[in-house]
A and B are shown apart, each in its own frame.
Chain A
């Protein structure tokens, strides 16, 4: 968190354009402290995509319905398209780019790959991050609980069945169970 912020590693991001009023945002993105001057109106999605180059969070509906811009803010899923960047001040943001550690995929990523829960891939980062929040809260969800939790993430390709399979598979992988089902 911010009180453990190591200034030597803080990435200082320059402001763009002729910003009138800016505020200083101090946050942690994917475990890395970030300090930036931003316009107050800056959306978290634009900050991540345009300022930090983290394009894994996508833009689609702009009204918090589709879920493709989902990132985790202190572990909870939020729609970055409808969240001000400043709301991340003093908090931790996790994007899809921060999920794999040193090239090793998270079991949820593994599960989505193995269960063909990915087609065009546009919903995938948001689906995976929402799944992470779900499984962190509830390691063995029922199918109904999975469907309820993922209700804010649309997918137009898969018909969802293989995504549900992948979430169940991920739960077993995270529990360290052999899963050959």
Chain B
């Protein structure tokens, strides 16, 4: 491989930062608070937990994409020594077993019918995993195969088999998308908007670019596959689970099993990655039902092939056309896109809506029309994966912008400078206006790519910029305890999924309390102990839960000042909090002494609370988003014309984050997101057999994720801090933008190298084919693409 020349981020202040009044720790790359536990193997993940009496669950999964279950005979499995319980659909008929946070379309175990290969049909709890696996082979299931719709085209056909009686489906607890109207056929959800007169704009346009595009299903591959332990007893359910959104899981479990939410406890250990794959409810209902039958705590741990059929990124088909004037003014865009949500909705409706929002791109249009549909197919369910929506649509829109630039004689930077939205302009009617300096951002990308300088043959450079509706619903709470010894504990339910949320929160609280960061401890999510947080995803934790943490710190700070004023006998304004003490001129009283003075004993504690809720309106999707996450990237690629192989020579990211509370962690997000974007652009694709619905590459042998050998030769990342975010200190979220930006930048760089990408991933075979098409078109006298 070529030389790795990533510019180390060593200029950032690092190390043992000390709290020194307001903003003391903000902007410092404090070391991760969980690094030691993770470097020593002490960090516990769900699969590492042992609880007394634990039984081991295994799941029997459907081999058919669509079938009626005629008969299940579990008697031989039940009789196997070591088997504690066998669960089938018959065991959950005393409850309403349908769940789904958007649409309640999914039974927690198949009832009479299976709708995808891999759907749970039965589950066994046994004394050890081997016995559970053996028992699965003793369960006899008789199926009657039904016609299946594996692809989008098959599911959208007039005579397609229907997966659901959509008219009868009930909305879930957390779709947040207004009224969900019943849809015809296999349509799960439709999201549309329009403004201006699209037909008129296209009629007067000098340039129109139009095309059909395909994006594949992608596996998130969090390295820790989903793992859940459930315990049932005495009207209470306890679940330890690798989940990103414990409170939403709690609500769904309580709803399914008919308990008050207070009787359901979700404990979240460290997560081995998530990337959206552990958002919302996954293995938890099935594990709870199995534990209920077994009357024992049960663990179900997915293998990788099971994780692949648990959730994935939506495949998508899109048609897009863009109109412009001859001098390069973008006029109008029309988009129709169909998202393959698989057999159940999961987070499909929100993906469909977010994709619609990303489709126009961040440009000033006279007219826009977008229709976005979610479609049920007989494949494994699709849900969230990092930067959903933006990753699906940005590469398409940006490639069309580049084609327009070529036709009107502008370069890719010029056309963007001319048409990008400016701060304060409307992104969509009624929603949050633009809160970022996109032109400044894209110029930084161009500079990092040495834009405009000569480049070798077969090398292309590309820019991309887009927006992602981020933040989800703005509800987060936190509280903090300042103990009698002057240490602080923070209670917040954001999941430490690897992004470093506990580190950032400890910096925020330490800053507000003027404490050294080492004296702040962050408690992991446990719904019995830590307060409500809507979710960990949509790049929301620093911005929203972080704001709740800051407010909890501010309340504690106010209490400290009030006590100090009393003890000093001075007005609060005369007192400063610094280094864990209250100061007046040269005199100080430590926090422990203040707390002792307040309670009259060595003991007691001060509590501060923080709450974030919609500042106006209801916080609905239509009113949002909380902020627009900037999805921006640059790439320089080299194409081998003989093999079609694409090599990324240079990766560029700009993190427009408002304020980087921990710059090193921001860069870590950018680098990780970029490499996932590279995988999405160049080789990641779940391949379904179009007849049987089986996944043909369901192991990591066959499904290639980026390895260290796939690294671009260099990576340049710039952090932009305009303090224009709604979070603490002007921060806004990061983590997803780099992925969508990278995928699209690789596509536009390929365009610059003469490759018209219409389908991802851009595998060597496809790139080679597109090059041949280009060459034969050129030979035929047609205008060739720019070299």
- Partner pick for B499 among A56, A119, A148, CB 8 A cutoff: A119
Least CB distance from B445 to A in Å reads 17
Least CB distance from B46 to A in Å reads 11
| Chain A contact patch, size range | 35 or more
Chain A residues near B48 (CB-CB < 8 A) = 49, 55
Residue of B nearest to A16 (CB): B128
Q: Say whether B668 contacts A116, CB under 8 Å.
A: yes
Least CB distance from A12 to B in Å reads 20
Chain B residues near A120 (CB-CB < 8 A) = 222-224, 270-274, 497-498
Least CB distance from A136 to B in Å reads 18
Interface of B is mostly: loop
Chain A residues near B34 (CB-CB < 8 A) = 118, 121
Residue of A nearest to B5 (CB): A143
Chain B residues near A155 (CB-CB < 8 A) = 223, 708
Query: Is A13 interfacial (CB 8 A cutoff)?
Result: no
Query: Is A86 interfacial (CB 8 A cutoff)?
Result: no
Interface positions of B (Cβ within 8 A of A): 1, 3-4, 6, 8, 10, 14, 29, 31-32, 34-45, 47-48, 50, 81-82, 127-128, 131, 221-225, 270-275, 301, 303-304, 497-500, 664-665, 668, 671-676, 699-701, 705-709, 711, 715
Query: Is A150 interfacial (CB 8 A cutoff)?
Result: yes
Least CB distance from A147 to B in Å reads 5
**Given A113-B36, A181-B10, A156 and B676 contact (CB-CB distance below 8 Å):** yes
Q: Say whether B708 contacts A181, CB under 8 Å.
A: no
Residue of B nearest to A119 (CB): B498
Q: Say whether A158 contacts B668, CB under 8 Å.
A: yes
Q: How far is the CA of A23 from the CA of B500 in the complex (A)?
A: 45
Q: Say whether A121 contacts B498, CB under 8 Å.
A: yes
Residue of A nearest to B651 (CB): A159
Q: Say whether B700 contacts A66, CB under 8 Å.
A: yes
Query: Is A164 interfacial (CB 8 A cutoff)?
Result: yes
Query: Is A161 interfacial (CB 8 A cutoff)?
Result: yes
Residue of A nearest to B43 (CB): A121
Chain B residues near A147 (CB-CB < 8 A) = 1, 4, 708-709, 711
Interface string of A99-138 (1 = CB under 8 A from B): 1100001000100111010111111110010000000000
Query: Is A175 interfacial (CB 8 A cutoff)?
Result: no
Q: Say whether B225 contacts A60, CB under 8 Å.
A: yes
Interface positions of A (Cβ within 8 A of B): 16-18, 49, 53-63, 65-66, 68, 95-97, 99-100, 105, 109, 112-114, 116, 118-125, 128, 143-144, 146-148, 150-151, 153-165, 181
Chain B residues near A144 (CB-CB < 8 A) = 1, 3-4
Q: Say whether B304 contacts A113, CB under 8 Å.
A: no
Chain B residues near A181 (CB-CB < 8 A) = 8, 10
Q: Say whether B271 contacts A96, CB under 8 Å.
A: no
Q: How far is the CA of A124 from the CA of B39 in the complex (A)?
A: 6
Q: How far is the CA of A49 from the CA of B129 in the complex (A)?
A: 13
Q: Say whether A161 contacts B221, CB under 8 Å.
A: no
Residue of B nearest to A96 (CB): B41
Q: Say whether B35 contacts A123, CB under 8 Å.
A: no
Q: How far is the CA of A159 from the CA of B671 in the complex (A)?
A: 5
Q: How far is the CA of A116 from the CA of B504 in the complex (A)?
A: 13
Least CB distance from A150 to B in Å reads 5
Q: Say whether A121 contacts B38, CB under 8 Å.
A: yes
Q: Say whether B671 contacts A162, CB under 8 Å.
A: yes
Q: Say whether A122 contacts B39, CB under 8 Å.
A: no
Chain B residues near A97 (CB-CB < 8 A) = 40-41
Q: Say whether A123 contacts B40, CB under 8 Å.
A: no
Most buried by A among B36, B224, B275, B701: B224
Q: Say whether A161 contacts B711, CB under 8 Å.
A: yes
Q: Say whether A160 contacts B41, CB under 8 Å.
A: no
Q: How far is the CA of A106 from the CA of B671 in the complex (A)?
A: 26
**Given A61-B700, A154-B707, A156-B672, A116 and B45 contact (CB-CB distance below 8 Å):** no
Q: How far is the CA of A164 from the CA of B8 in the complex (A)?
A: 10
Residue of A nearest to B714 (CB): A161
Q: Say whether B41 contacts A95, CB under 8 Å.
A: yes
Q: Say whether B45 contacts A58, CB under 8 Å.
A: yes
Q: How far is the CA of A144 from the CA of B5 in the complex (A)?
A: 11
Q: Say whether A159 contacts B672, CB under 8 Å.
A: yes
Q: How far is the CA of A120 from the CA of B668 in the complex (A)?
A: 11
10 intermolecular pairs with C-beta atoms under 8 Å apart: A55-B44, A56-B40, A58-B223, A61-B699, A66-B700, A113-B32, A116-B35, A121-B270, A122-B498, A146-B708
Least CB distance from B707 to A in Å reads 6
